[in-house]
Amino acid sequence: MPELPEVETVRKALAEVLEGRRLAHVETRRADLRFPFPRGFAKKLTGCRVESVGRRGKFLIIGLDDGLTLISHLGMSGRYRIYLKTPPKLEKHDHVVFETENGASIRFNDPRRFGFMDLVKTAALATYPMLVKMGPEPLSNAFNGPVLAAALKGRKAPIKAALLDQSVVAGIGNIYASEALFRAGISPKRKAATVQGSRAEKLVLALRSVLIEAIAAGGSSLRDHRQPSGELGYFQHAFAVYGRDGQPCPGCTCNPETGVGGIRRITQSGRSTFYCARRQR
């Protein structure tokens, strides 16, 4: 389920149940997800106290009291479920089970197993390969028009593809790339290098606004995603373009019924992009 807003939704829920708590029991129910679990994964975690539940891009960063940090990525279909009281029977694809000292159960379920977990020394976190090259957090002060413009300079790929590159900006995925480009009025096919100056400023504002609104809505529930409480996210109802090919554009008078455009779906680097050719240039 995971782009930044969905991961942030999960982070908040996990923080609430885990921060300050000790892990009484941890169990992996298979040897690997996308990668094998590191040696002694469950054993090392058992007995640890969770100090913090953070996020970097789409990665959950869980700080523990004994100098270790748990890194968790949801991949495409990863989900956390939290049960404060008696949990139901284990379900298919429940791959990792955590239990806290005060009786909460947390389960990681991931049908496609593109997600993964890793356990690293907190001191070595800054050198973790997948985090080293990551670009700025889009909701932080480190991200602004000039920073984005500089990251896009010299890039020949379309802007949509550049936004999916986590070294340009962290946490953007296929949905919010399309949605932000729509808000900014920028064509997904535009060469990334030409997004400079006021266009870059506009795109930064568009990214920020769409992410903030999506977080407030608990993320988007298309198929897999639910909040860890079991509640659905509901930002999918606010999509302007994603998954709406053939429908009228909410921002202009485009309407496929009248033969003047509307939302179109195209494929870019093997992934769907949705946009309005009239409003986005």
Partner DNA sequence: CGGCAAACCTGCGAGC
Partner DNA sequence: TGCTCGCAGGTTTGCC
Binding site for DNA (CB under 7 A): 1-3, 6, 34, 57-59, 73, 75-77, 92-93, 111-114, 129-130, 154-158, 161-162, 164, 166, 173-175, 192, 219-225, 233, 269-272
Q: Dihedral sign, CA of 115, 121, 123, 127?
A: negative
Least gap, CB of 65 to DNA (angstroms) = 27
Residue 48 or 276 with smaller CB distance to DNA: 276
Q: What is the DSSP string of 66-132?
A: TSEEEEEE-TTT-EEEEESSS-----TTEEEEEEETTS-EEEEE-SS---EEEEEEGGGGGG-HHHH
CA distance 192 to 167: 14
Q: Where are the alpha helices (DSSP H) in the chain?
A: 4-18, 41-45, 129-132, 145-152, 159-164, 174-184, 197-216
Active site annotation includes 244: no
Active site annotation includes 111: no
Given the residues 58, 79, 226, 264, the one annotated as active site: 58
Least gap, CB of 14 to DNA (angstroms) = 16
Active site annotation includes 88: no
Q: What angle do CA 88, 25, 218 make, to 5 degrees?
A: 55
Residue 23 or 175 with smaller CB distance to DNA: 175
Given the residues 3, 8, 99, 179, the one annotated as active site: 3
Given the residues 2, 5, 158, 248, the one annotated as active site: 2
Within 10 angstroms of residue 83's Cβ, the number of other Cβ atoms is: 17
Least gap, CB of 241 to DNA (angstroms) = 12
Active site annotation includes 228: no
- Which is nearest to 224 in space by CA: 75, 65, 29, 55? 75
Residue 190 or 271 with smaller CB distance to DNA: 271
Residue 99 or 179 with smaller CB distance to DNA: 179
Residue 39 or 223 with smaller CB distance to DNA: 223
Least gap, CB of 234 to DNA (angstroms) = 11
Query: 262: helix, coil or strand?
Result: coil
Least gap, CB of 101 to DNA (angstroms) = 31
Q: Which sequence positions are flagged as catalytic?
A: 2-3, 58, 271
